[in-house]
Structure 1
């Protein structure tokens, strides 16, 4: 649950009803600044038709991968699903009450092509990849750990049904977020909706953003932004993405995909949970060293 008494340094993401491609690129893409576009989807069939019940009716027989909130384990490969279920059964779970299971990075449109006719690639001056419209589902109060995406893409995250809270940080704030080595996540122990700032004091130095999304609203997240998503009600979202932009992000994305992921799977196989524990301890100690340096500067 969200505890408003434990505030992080979060600024509300700017909101706008509509925007031209030129203004979007000049004012948000080039400076890598987030934005919520409130009416981007209002002329889509998806805006009028998509709901949990509707997707269950047209795609209920599709087997979907499920993830829960368990900590990383050497038993699992990088981004390995924890369970599988038919979509209709999963939607039943969401609608009946709390469940830890989430759907993560699933291309439902590939399984049910008719859904592709329900939306168009936004005309925002960016080339979104029309073959990779990933969907994400979650139950009330489920939260996605703080992470950034492996491909460092610019992302347009569009929410459907209910309400969602998004906490995001630019890459410049990585030094305060307890990043785990050879990974794309902060310490799994941190609850960004109710953080223990005595145990994780570096979070008080991080400057981030917060956005609340309702049905049909779209959050633009520049490449490499950290994000933590919490479903305030059962719902689902679709992310549209670009290729990474700029030499630095392209190089990092290639490293993540070609080397980092392979090294991680190998080390989990060789060292088991000792590898996971070592990385978590290292992240915490490294962050404490950063904090000491910051205090010395002041």
Structure 2
């Protein structure tokens, strides 16, 4: 992988953000953006422990999804307080995925304000994600194709970002929003995944209060370096073409994959893995031909 540093700013005006990042669809890390919130001190695991400790939450780990089960089925459940105790006291790969604040902890909505950066937020689903110090999130892009503003709290996190056009080198799985399961992005094996060496992206390290702008369709891999959580704010699709693409991804691609997975289970998963390798091998051969 050919990784470079992302643009990093301390403060940014709406005009500059729109001109240099939003319109050209370029990522940027805004250091300490959440510090401007009046209730910034409430963005902590302790506060969530107090407010939502009794809630039962579904948990996921680093293992590939079981092909005989739905991809969104958790590996276990636990009380929120027990989960927070666990990740604060010991290494863990358990994480909480897509915890919608509006439904589960609306009190938290009083503790932040949407940054005025010039784009329209989808305020129905501000979403929390949690992870222990060993948790990883498979390389993927978000199926709704929204622009994302992703805040990190408590522990540090490593993020890898790749633009949509880098997908041919990432071993994208057909009819899916993720890459093949067995790529280790912390120690990539270029003999097994030679196309990956051609992928150009960004490496970002996030700390408490930082915000990362991830443009629509960007691939991202998250690795929790310490126990922590994040909140993602999403935008509406900002063009008719993107809206059409989003509807196709959500209602055609995703449901076609679900039906085929339900019918053929492991055979379908194995087939998609093989297709991902063939597609990336073809992209690598094409790249070598261009440079020869």
Q: Distance in 1 between matches of 2:92 and 2:104?
A: 24
Cα distance in 2 for partners of 1:45, 1:203 equals: 43
> Does the 8 Å contact 2:168/2:279 carry over to 1?
no
More off after superposition, 288-297 vs 232-241: 288-297
Q: CA deviation at 1:74?
A: 2.9
**What's 1:221 paired with?**
214
**Offset at 1:100?**
2.2
2:283 maps to which of 276, 282, 290:
290
Q: Take 1:117 and 1:123, find their aligned partners in 2: how far apart are those partners?
A: 16
Q: Give the aligned partner of residue 168 of structure 1.
A: 161
SS at match of 1:106: strand
TM-score under structure 1 length normalisation:
0.94
Relative to structure 1, the CA distance from residue 64 to residue 45 in structure 2 (aligned partners, 3 Å threshold; closer, same or farther) is: farther
Residue 121 of structure 1 contacts residue 130 of structure 1 at CA under 8 Å; is this kept in 2?
no
Instruction: Look up the match of 1:4.
Output: none
Displaced runs of 4+ in structure 1, greater than 3 A? none
Q: Which of 132, 141, 152 is 1:159 aligned to?
A: 152
Match status 1:24 vs 2:17 = yes
Aligned with 2:92 (options 86, 95, 99): 99
Cα offsets for 1:220-272 (capped at 9, x unmatched): 00000000000110000000000122233222210111111211111111111
The Cα shift of 1:109 comes to 4.2
Is 1:239 the equivalent of 2:232? yes
Within-5 A mapping of 1:56-205: 56-205=49-198
Aligned equivalent of 1:50: 43
Please say which of residues 274-283 and 75-84 is displaced more in the overlay.
75-84
CA RMSD of the aligned region, Å? 1.4
Q: Residues 24-73 of structure 1: CA distance to partner in whole angstroms, max 9, x if unpaired?
A: 11110110000011132112144222211221111111222211222233
Is 1:267 the counterpart of 2:273? The answer is: no
Q: Name the SS of the counterpart of 2:167 in structure 1.
A: helix
Q: 2:277, 2:233 → 1: CA distance?
A: 33
Alignment gaps of 5+ in structure 1: 1-7
Structure 1 position 192, deviation (Å): 1.0
Distance 1:201 1:35 in 2: 28
Q: In 1, are the aligned partners of 2:7 and 2:29 still within 8 Å (CA)? A: yes
CA distance in 1, matches of 2:154, 2:102: 18
Q: Name which of structure 1's ranges 253-262 and 285-294 shifts more when overlaid on structure 2.
A: 285-294
Q: Is the 2:91–2:133 contact (alpha carbons within 8 Å) kept by the matching residues of 1? A: yes
Matched, 1:33 2:21: no
Contact preservation (8 Å) 1:74, 1:272: yes
Cα distance between partner residues in 1 of 2:241 and 2:138: 25
Q: Residues 42 and 216 of structure 1 are in contact (CA less than 8 Å); yes or no, is this contact kept in structure 2?
A: yes
SS in structure 1 of the partner of residue 74 of structure 2 = coil
Structure 1 residue 141 displacement after superposition: 2.7
Q: Count residues with an aligned counterpart.
A: 291
Are 1:72 and 1:276, in contact at CA under 8 Å, matched by a contact in 2?
no
